[in-house]
Amino acid sequence: MIIEPIVLSGLTAVIFISLMTAPLGCFVVWKRMAYFGDAISHSALLGVAIASSLHLPAQIGALLTSLGFAFLLVHTRKITFLANDTLLGILAHGSLSIGLIYYSFVEHQSHGDHNHQNHDGHGHELTELLFGSLDQVSWLEIGAIALGALLSLTLIICMWKKAILASINEELAKAEGIQTQLIEWLLIFLMALTVALCVHFVGVLLVTALLIIPPASARLVAKNPDQMLGASIVISLLSGVMGVGLSEIIHAPMAPSIVFSSLLVFFGLLLISKLRPQT
């Protein structure tokens, strides 16, 4: 069977996305940042919409808004007594609705103008924004993801043990001279970068699934952080490839197929870990 170029580029993108999301996802699970990831990715919609109206790459717009949003969030957290998840809910859905309003505004304009939005590659259908368009990635964009994955892996490997200690107990890490604040900011930066680079392919609503489901599945079988890192990369790659295959067979969009595959892996491992005698 000959692999079509669309499938090949989708597959390559999926591999680099896995390398980027799986290691960071471990920290998202450990530090309970899932809501935070959701909020950042929702805010990315506004960035994508603005970038598309200015004819800039979607990734740059998404990176700027998600970084700005993360910054806003960390500072609002300091001045309010509201619980973290409440605050995240307010800001996430707020920014999502601003993004949607802006998007509809831009769409009206371009429809009224020339109706050319899909010809220059900068127009985005709303469903693509929300659920991704892995079948339309260019090799340039894949290169950007590969660079992002390299940067993310390097940073995470460099701070691995220190960041683990900071995740277990921040006070202990501080007393032992670890720059916990720097680690916190690096993780937030990587989160924004990951969302920005992946949001175009997997969509605003599904990015967090890639960050959470493989590490959560890995947690079911891992006994220490190294095993969890390895297992979540393997699971992420596996469900990525499964998802691309599935989407070809049943002619479904790629991103939801990948998330669905990782869900299957999660429940498979959950079943195995419950059936296996506890050690």
Per CB under 8 A, residues contacting other proteins are 29-30, 32, 161-162, 164-165, 167-169, 171-178, 219, 222-228
State in angstroms the smallest separation of the CB of 267 from other proteins.
19
Name the minimum Å distance from CB 269 to other proteins: 13
Q: Contact, 213 vs 231, CB < 8 A?
A: no
**CB of 86 within 8 A of CB of 35?**
no
Helices 180-202, 207-219: crossing angle, 10 deg rounding: 120
Residues 266/236, Cβ–Cβ less than 8 Å: no
- For residue 148, give the nearest of 34, 18, 262 by alpha carbon: 18
Polymer length in residues for the chain: 279
Count CA atoms closer than 13 A to 243's CA, side-chain side. Answer: 30
For residue 51, the minimal CB distance to other proteins (Å) is: 35
The torsion defined by the Cα of 47, 52, 58 and 64, in degrees rounded to 10, comes to -30
Minimum distance, C-beta of residue 62 to other proteins, in the bound complex (Å) = 28
In one-letter notation, the amino acid at residue 105 is F
| Cα–Cα dist 12/71, whole Å | 32
CB of 268 to other proteins, least distance (A): 19
Per the listing, tokens 């921040």 go with: 170
Nearer to other proteins, 80 or 115 (CB): 80
Minimum distance, C-beta of residue 34 to other proteins, in the bound complex (Å): 11
* Least distance in angstroms from the C-beta of 168 to other proteins: 6
Residue with tokens 């920005």: 196
Nearest-approach distance from CB 228 to other proteins, in angstroms: 6
- 34, 35, 103, 216, 272 from 211: Cα distances, Å: 8, 11, 26, 9, 22
Strands (E), 99-213: none
Q: Which is nearer to other proteins, 106 or 231 (CB)?
A: 231
Q: Are 229 and 26 in contact (CB under 8 A)?
A: yes
Query: Is 206 in a helix, a strand, or coil?
Result: coil
